[in-house]
Amino acid sequence: MTPLASPPPLPPRAGIGLKPDHYRAILDCAAEGLWLEAHPENYMVDGGPRLAWLEALRSRHPLSFHGVGASLGGPDPLDPDHLKALKSLIARFEPAVVSEHVAWSAAGGRYFADLFPLPRTDEALCWLAERIDAFQMALGRAILVENPSVYLPLKSEMDEPDFLVELCRRSGCGLLLDVNNVFVSANNTGFDAGAYIDAIPGHLVGEVHLAGHEADARKGASLLIDTHGAPVAEPVWALYERLISRIGSRPTLIERDANIPAFETLMAERGRADLALARQVELA
Amino acid sequence: MLSGYYQAFLDAVVGSDPRTLGAYLEDRALVSNAIVYRNTTFRGAADALSTAYPAVARLAGDAYFEHVAIAYVEASPPRQRSLVGYGEDFADFLETAPGIAEAPYLADAARLDWAWLGAHRAPSQISLAASDLAVLRPERLAELKLKLHPSVRLLELRWGVHDAWKHNRNLAPAIAQEVLPSRQHVMLWRPAHEVETQVLSPAEALFFQLLDGGSALGEAAQTALAASPDFNTTLVFAGALEASVFAGEQPDLDLKREEWW
């Protein structure tokens, strides 16, 4: 039997979240180093144009799968239908990276289509590590897990960086560090975002996310919502610079899921991240 | 305990009872932030519905659609880990939704939207070409059992909503469209990348339903002709072939082709 060739890794460049609005523009775009990230759940269909588009785009750009439906921290067993569909997409599209979330999103057979938080307790850590291990075994590959955006100050036994580092140690997963989530959580639950960024060991970080947030309509700036519906905020860019100047270049995604801008606007934001990454390469 | 936390969280976010969740927070006063998760959960499912049912959303208007979508999410929350297939029985829900009497054709518009989505994401397969039938002796054609393309959806509607549906589906400027309570047969299919639709006569609909059910061409044509003397088998069959309505893979044709040699 011929061993399967592993897909090439993501370049240490800036990528964008894949949106149907931009399919055509991406196909016509020759930007060097551009990579794409898709939610595999949006491609869990039997056939048709959506898969055809992904195939066409995948033939030109590296791809990352960013899952939202696994509910790794949840009470329900891992969903066999979801795993089967995910494995089949991975086999077909050979993404360079597969990631998921430190969160839960299903219970009692119901799917909430949101990322619910977990308290950072030893019990939650054990459960999550066990589940990430089972998920990775089922997929036959290691994953990255993303730090959550937090709206509730849950009673916890450890800080988030310690929780995440221990999670990686126990399960063998890596981190997808979402800098906007760090900023939003720090604002909402009162910790020092800079200290958090400094506490994350660079070798664990396989990918970085940058996204925009918006103030809650009722509570204002005391409650920031991770809407992915706005440009990346300046303080988040500052945290990002702080991160990569310490750990070096990492594949970095501009994540935009709402108020989708024109392709050129999104690519301009992507260009800013790409420039910051290029500077790190020059410095190194 | 984690199990107690899950329940407390769900009580607050899904059940609107935040009392027990407070005990899991550093600051009980911030339990009101749980509404963020509640909004996202319901908003996400309702947005998935408006994506799956764009013509219904447009025909119903934002306010009514929002109202009825949230009611549906509460009654039939998502159960699969992807929202792409969410909303399967939304048309049935609309039949008895409060306020639906003002626009009773919305349920049929929803059936069209759902069939469109089904055709759009059906397995990709090449279609049968007229030349594929050349291997068959003409007199054997009547015996042939043809499979429809996997994207074909056949609908029987109680309201003649197809034109109004299609107009709104295409995001054309809003125009007043009269929708009459008259039975309408519609076929939707996706020969390549675009979903096609066609209003069928009752006899044509019968013909395709019979073929879909496994009847041979001749038998389906005779039954359709018996139902309506105007039914023109040659025209309908040639048109369907031209429109790529039949599947490219035809086990019965392969069988009969072997007999030929």
- Model confidence pLDDT, tens digit, residues A220-276: 999 999 999 999 999 999 999 999 999 999 999 999 999 999 999 999 999 999 999
CB contact under 8 A, A41 and B34: no
pLDDT value at position A1? 34
Report whether A271 contacts A263 (CB < 8 A): no
Place of tokens 């934001």: A269
pLDDT value at position A272? 98
Task: Tell me which chain B residues have a C-beta less than 8 angstroms from the C-beta of A104.
Answer: 6
Residues with Cβ within 8 Å of A271's Cβ and at least 6 positions away in sequence, in order, are A14
Nearest to A38 by CA among A28, A50, A25: A50
Interface residue of A152, A222, A259 to substitute, partner B, most B CBs within 10 Å: A152
Nearest to A160 by CA among A144, A182, A133, A130: A182
B42: contact with A, CB 8 A cutoff: no
From CA A29, how far away is CA A60, in angstroms rounded?
10
Q: Is the pLDDT of residue A207 over 80?
A: yes
> Cα angle at B259 between B256 and B261, to 5 degrees?
120
pLDDT value at position B249? 87
B193: contact with A, CB 8 A cutoff: yes
A154: contact with B, CB 8 A cutoff: yes
Tokens of A23: 């399919």
Between residues 6 and 35 of chain B, which touch chain A (CB distance below 8 Å)?
6, 9-10, 13-14, 21, 24-27, 30-31, 33-34
What average pLDDT does this structure show over A131-147?
97
Interface residue of B14, B81, B171 to substitute, partner A, most A CBs within 10 Å: B81
Task: Tell me which chain B residues have a C-beta less than 8 angstroms from the C-beta of A109.
Answer: 79
> Cα angle at B194 between B191 and B197, to 5 degrees?
75
A217: contact with B, CB 8 A cutoff: no
Residues A172-187 have pLDDT tens digits of 999 999 999 999 999 9
Q: Where are the beta strands (DSSP E) in B101-247?
A: 153-157, 184-189, 196-200
> Cα angle at B184 between B115 and B46, to 5 degrees?
35
ipTM of the complex: 0.94
CB contact under 8 A, A41 and B45: no
Nearest to A254 by CA among A2, A4, A17: A17
A45: contact with B, CB 8 A cutoff: yes
Strands B184-189 and B196-200, bridge-based pairing: antiparallel
pLDDT value at position B238? 95
Distance from CA of B183 to the nearest CA of A (A): 30
Task: Tell me which chain A residues have a C-beta less than 8 angstroms from the C-beta of B125.
Answer: 47
Of A47, A110, A155, the CB nearest to B26: A155
From CA A106, how far away is CA A112, in angstroms rounded?
6
A47: contact with B, CB 8 A cutoff: yes
CB contact under 8 A, B24 and A154: yes
pLDDT value at position A263? 97
A81: contact with B, CB 8 A cutoff: yes
Distance from CA of B235 to the nearest CA of A (A): 29
What average pLDDT does this structure show over A34-55?
97
pLDDT value at position B259? 63
Q: Among A27-31, A35-39, A106-110, B111-115, which stretch is predicted with the lowest mean pLDDT?
A: A27-31
From CA A203, how far away is CA B30, in angstroms rounded?
35
pLDDT value at position A97? 97
Q: How confident is the model at residue A6 (pLDDT cuts 50, 70, 90)?
A: low
Of A49, A75, A188, the CB nearest to B6: A75
CB contact under 8 A, B121 and A71: no
pLDDT value at position A147? 98
Between residues 194 and 253 of chain B, which touch chain A (CB distance below 8 Å)?
none
Indicate whether this model's pTM tops 0.80. yes
The per-residue pLDDT string of chain B (261 residues; one tens digit each, 9 = 90 and over) reads: 899 999 999 999 999 899 999 999 999 999 999 999 999 999 999 999 999 999 999 999 999 999 999 999 999 999 999 999 999 999 999 999 999 988 999 999 999 999 999 999 999 999 999 999 988 888 889 999 999 999 999 999 999 999 999 999 987 777 777 888 999 999 999 998 999 999 999 999 999 999 999 999 999 999 999 999 999 999 999 999 999 999 998 888 888 876 654
